[in-house]
């Protein structure tokens, strides 16, 4: 009789721009065995990969360059890949942030086709603080969090090409995608920081750990 694995081995990608300590602590509280990795070769043995991130899109993609090929390969093979904040934006195709900084188009991972755009001028930027999650379609990551609040800090937001890629929205003058996922469901991201979002964030991280164990 096979014994069901009860702890997920999760790799947090250390590419120099993540909020690594709080992400690691949050995942450990959610029941994961967590390792920080600067080596894409370590992705193979993991049950799931987390791409955290704070800062600018272009810098993020530059720093993540050595990981790009491995992240795309793992995602296409079905490995659960979870992007957080900038990490979520990096799952998309491009970002206006590079244009805004005069750097031209910076290419994201293109695992969820779409673009990151800046909030309009009549909105206070950055969008910072607690805001509500409105789950728009089923996905294991958001089970039990519809109507709950999460903690945001960002000036850009994701606009997926396919509206079905939006899993949850949040209202900040207008609705924007606060949780996204690919068609297969194994690549997903949150614009907010689950590791800073109290019980709601812990529920999402536990949902992620469960998803890693089930896939």
Alpha-carbon distance of 137 to 31, in angstroms, equals 26
- Among 115, 110, 197, smallest CA distance to 153 is for 197
Dihedral, CA of residue 97, residue 54, residue 88 and residue 196, to nearest 10 = -140
Active site (annotated) includes residue 193: yes
Active site (annotated) includes residue 163: no
Alpha-carbon distance of 177 to 180, in angstroms, equals 7
Query: Is 177 within 8 Å of 119 (Cβ atoms)?
Result: no
Active-site entry in 59, 97, 148, 195: 195
Active site (annotated) includes residue 212: no
Active-site entry in 149, 154, 193, 212: 193
Tokens of 157: 């937001």
Active-site entry in 59, 85, 149, 154: 85
Alpha-carbon torsion (34, 81, 144, 171), positive or negative? positive
Tokens of 165: 């890629």
Active site residues: 85, 193, 195
């Amino acid at each position: 009789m096979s014994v069901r694995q009860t702890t997920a081995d999760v790799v947090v990608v250390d590419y120099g721009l993540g909020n690594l300590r709080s992400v690691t602590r949050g995942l450990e509280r959610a029941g994961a065995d967590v390792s920080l990795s600067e080596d894409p070769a370590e992705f193979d043995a993991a049950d799931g990969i987390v791409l955290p991130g704070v800062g600018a899109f272009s810098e993020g993609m530059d720093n993540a360059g050595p990981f790009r090929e491995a992240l795309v390969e793992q995602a296409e093979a079905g490995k659960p890949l979870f992007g957080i904040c900038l990490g979520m934006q990096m799952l998309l195709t491009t970002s206006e942030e590079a244009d805004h900084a005069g750097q031209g188009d910076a290419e994201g991972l293109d695992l969820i086709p779409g673009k990151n755009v800046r909030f309009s001028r009549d909105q206070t930027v950055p969008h910072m603080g607690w805001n509500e999650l409105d789950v728009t379609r089923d996905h294991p990551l958001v089970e039990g969090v519809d109507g709950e609040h999460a903690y945001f800090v960002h000036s850009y937001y994701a606009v997926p090409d396919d509206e079905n890629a939006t899993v949850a929205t949040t209202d900040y003058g207008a609705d924007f995608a606060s949780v996204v996922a690919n068609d297969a469901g194994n690549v997903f991201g949150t614009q907010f920081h689950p590791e800073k979002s109290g019980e709601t964030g812990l529920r999402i991280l536990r949902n992620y750990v469960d998803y890693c164990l089930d896939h």
